[in-house]
Structure 1
């Protein structure tokens, strides 16, 4: 399904973030978004639906890799996540109470 044109589909906070937040419900296919700090616009080929407020991968994220958002480590990938994949509790665990990757 085609995405609405002219409206951003996601927002990333910093250049270097590995994930971004959907600013509306997103369907698979090309979706354009932007950064608060960093490149103006980037188009990602979304692989699966991502609901409003949930995260999508801006790059491939390997299992065990830190998940970076807001320029900070916010989670640890529990599975490989492809660029354009849905990032949620099924493939990421919180890094909030951990000092290092287990």
Structure 2
């Protein structure tokens, strides 16, 4: 995954949360740059799961559920996992057009 796309996802999440909430919560980013979401062998993804299970996280905000898992079975499993641990999963979307740099 390209670092520009990761920066874009961070921007979208922060902007969407800023529009929804009175004040921004503490945001921790869990990024496994260059690793496909089809695998669970992602160090920061594993850290996210451990912290969720420990009760250290109450909400996970993503630009799309496929950022967590690339297949429906995985998404379903993760949804149940987060629900069991009291973690709300929120999909964030950009409400305004933004200029994204494209390689020529």
TM-score normalized by structure 2? 0.27
Higher relative CO (Cα under 8 Å, sequence separation at least 6) belongs to 2
TM-score normalized by structure 1? 0.27
More strand by percentage: 1
Larger Rg belongs to: 2
